[in-house]
Structure 1
Amino acid sequence: MLSINRHLMGTALALLLLAGGHSVAQAQQGAVGIPVASAPANASGDARAPYAWSDLCRRSPAECRVDVREPDTVELTPKLWKSIVAINNRVNREIEAITDEDHWGVVDRWDLPEDGKGDCEDFALLKRKRLAEAGVPRRAMVMTVVIDEENAGHAVMMIRTDRGDFILDNKRNAVLPWNQTGYVYVKRESQVRTGWTSLGGAQTSTVASVR
């Protein structure tokens, strides 16, 4: 479970929604097999990195390195969308959800779930690893900290595309636009340096309850 500053919840940016009138299926997938475009998540200013992420960087520097020669967004083709959804579903099935307390005896630890067990950030790290192995630029995939529907810290992986930013989440199999998850967005990894940037506590709506 992530530990984050609760006062960020009071900061609200304007809600970003997809155009009204779409069905749930239309909101998630356009006519050509990819999602309808939506507004990206804007970040501004530095943010303090989660302690457990900094610990991960000491143990596995490659997980935190930023290569500015890579693109910071990726073109969302039907083929890539299919891979994103498949990898999200596969990792959600493969990994046994377990708290860091039960797994490692510590409050928070970030790592690849090499033993088949992990919590939210471990799911996200594995999804990023597999997508990178499939050819997705590592720079376009950023670890992101949110406040979830239970008012708790939660980590997801955000993939930044030319059709908006989408969230890979161990809580659901549906890959949703960031602004349809119902989460409060606190911060994400920087795309210009090794570090984190603020998302300002942007609040979002949930379009549908989907798995």
Structure 2
Amino acid sequence: MLTRTAALMAQLATVNAEVNRLPYQSDATRYGRPDFWTDIEAAGGGDCEDYALAKRRRLLASGWPPSAVRLATCWTEREEYHAVLTVDLQGPEGPETWVLDNRYGRVQAAADLIRMGYRWDRRQAATGRGWVQIKT
């Protein structure tokens, strides 16, 4: 597991901010269907999972290990189903999960989002190709 450093957190903040500047457009509007996962940068616009895919692609391209950079789904405080990118780092007190979310301008601690009303559902497995239920 990567150790949290100021440089890694700055990189996460940069990726989050740059991708979040891309235009939001729902899958229903763009593709005429309720859900379609694609890279927002390639499509020129998209919704939550498209932002998460672009952020993941950027981090993996810069050398982050796939086990640390995983897509996740949750319900927001407004009961909307949502996709984000999670990043696992080793902090001074132990493992930490950080979230790159198109709803927020800054990288959030997963624990803070839970306090704000997020309820986690599933996340890509750290190894292999599956998804796992998140237990909170």
Provide, for residues 1-35 of structure 1, a one-character-per-residue CA deviation record: whole Å limited to 9, x for no partner. xxxxxxxxxxxxxxxxxxxxxxxxxxxxxxxxxxx
Match of 1:80 in 2: 8
CA shift, 1:75, in A, is 1.9
Report % sequence identity: 29
CA shift, 1:165, in A, is 0.4
Give the 4+ runs in structure 1 shifted more than 6 A: none
Provide, for residues 74-109 of structure 1, a one-character-per-residue CA deviation record: whole Å limited to 9, x for no partner. 22221111110011001101x111110001111111
1:53-132, aligned counterparts within 5 Å? 73-93=1-21, 95-113=22-40, 114-132=42-60
Report the structure number with the largest CA radius of gyration: 1
1:188-207, aligned counterparts within 5 Å? 188-200=123-135, 202=136
Query: Which residue, 133, 156, 171 being the options, matches 2:103?
Result: 171
Counterparts of 1:175 and 1:153, CA distance in 2: 19
Q: What TM-score does the superposition give when structure 2 sets the normalisation length?
A: 0.89
- How many equivalent residue pairs? 128
**Paired residue secondary structure (2:102):** coil
**Paired residue secondary structure (2:106):** coil
CA shift, 1:138, in A, is 1.9
CA shift, 1:192, in A, is 2.2
Match of 1:10 in 2: none
Which structure shows the bigger proportion of residues in helix conformation? Answer: 2
Q: Name the Cα RMSD after superposition.
A: 1.0
Give the partner amino acid of 1:98: Q
Q: Any gaps of 5 or more consecutive residues in structure 1?
A: 1-72, 203-211
1:24-63, aligned counterparts within 5 Å? none
Q: Any gaps of 5 or more consecutive residues in structure 2?
A: none
**Paired residue secondary structure (1:171):** coil
Q: What TM-score does the superposition give when structure 1 sets the normalisation length?
A: 0.59
